[in-house]
Amino acid sequence: MFIDTDSFADIILNIKTCSLPPSANLNTSQFLLIYNLLQLRNQYYQLQELSAKPRIADMTSAAASLLGRQLKEIQKARDLPGISCGLVKDNIFEWEVMLMLSDECKYYGGGNWRCLLSFPEDYPHAPPKLTFCDPIPFHPNIYPKTGVLCISILHPSGHDEYGYEDASERWTPIQTPETILLSVVSLMNDPNDSSPANVEAARLWREAQANPKGKEMREWKSRCRALVRQSLGEE
C-alpha cells in the first residue's frame, strides 16, 4: 500500500485533533492501521521514559553511597591536617568544609576558611563545586563576589575550548573529595594567574612577584592578611 506525504500528514492531524474525519485518500482500514501503529509508538516512548527513571534514581543512590564512604574516610584520615568536613543539614550532597591553613601557606596561613562543597546527583561522573563563604580570600582563582573557586580539577572533563587547560588537568571520576581539597590547599599556596577569576588579585599578584620588595608586595600581603584576620573573627 502506497501512501503519499499529504495523506500521511492528514492522518497525523486527525489523530492529534480527534475531530476531523479520515483523509479522503485513505479508507477506514488503512486509517486504523496507521492509528494503531502510532499508538504502539507512543506506548514505546512511554516505556522508554519509565525505564529511564530507575536508572536516574540508581545513579543518585550510588552517588549518595559513594559520598557517604568518602566522607567517613576523610573524617578518619590522619594525613589531612587542617581539613575538616561535615554535612549541611544532613544532606550528603552538600558538605561544609573548614580549611585551617598552617603558617606554611605564606599569604593565607593561620586563617580558618569556611567552604561549601556541592556535589551533583551524577557524581562522580560530573565534578562538584567549591564555594568560599565570607570572608572570601583575595585570590586570583576565587571569584570575589560569589566565592566560587576556579580550578582545573573541578572543570568538566573534556577539551577546553579556550585552550587554557589540558584535558588531563580537568575532572575525571577517579578524583575524590580528598584529592580535591589537597589541590585547593596547593592552589592557595601557589595561585594560577593565567586565567584568573579575580582579575584585580591576579594583576596585583603578578606585580608583587615581579617586585617582591616593593609597594605591590606590601599591598598584596596587607589585603590577604586582613581577610585572614576576618576569618578568625578579629576584625
Give the pLDDT of the chain (235 residues) as one tens digit per residue.
454 555 544 554 454 444 444 444 556 676 667 666 666 666 666 656 655 554 556 668 899 999 999 999 999 987 788 999 999 999 999 999 999 999 889 899 999 999 999 999 999 999 999 999 999 999 999 999 999 999 999 999 887 766 667 788 899 999 999 999 999 999 999 999 988 999 999 999 999 999 999 999 999 999 999 999 999 998 6
One-letter amino acid for residue 49 of the chain: E
Distance CA 108, CA 104 (A): 9
Q: How far apart are CA 188 and CA 91, in angstroms?
A: 27
Residue 225 to residue 217: CA distance in whole angstroms: 12
Active site residue 150: yes
Cell of 201: 588579585
Rg, the chain, Cα only: 28
Q: What is the pLDDT of residue 20?
A: 43
Q: What is the pLDDT of residue 16?
A: 46
Match 589531612 to its residue by C-alpha cell.
Answer: 80
pTM of the model: 0.74
Of the candidates 161, 102, 113, the one whose C-alpha atom is nearest the C-alpha of residue 137 is 113
Dihedral sign, Cα of residue 137, residue 165, residue 84, residue 71: positive
Q: What is the pLDDT of residue 44?
A: 62
Q: 160 to each of 156, 169, 170, 197, how far by Cα in Å?
A: 9, 10, 9, 16
- How many C-beta atoms surround the C-beta of residue 208 within 10 A? 19
User: CA triplet 82, 95, 117: central angle to 5 degrees?
Assistant: 85
DSSP-based three-state secondary structure for 23: coil
| Of 148, 73, 133, residue with least CA distance to 99 | 133
Going along the chain from its start, the domains and CATH numbers come out as 60-231 (3.10.110.10)
Q: Of 85, 105, 115, 150, which is the active-site residue?
A: 150
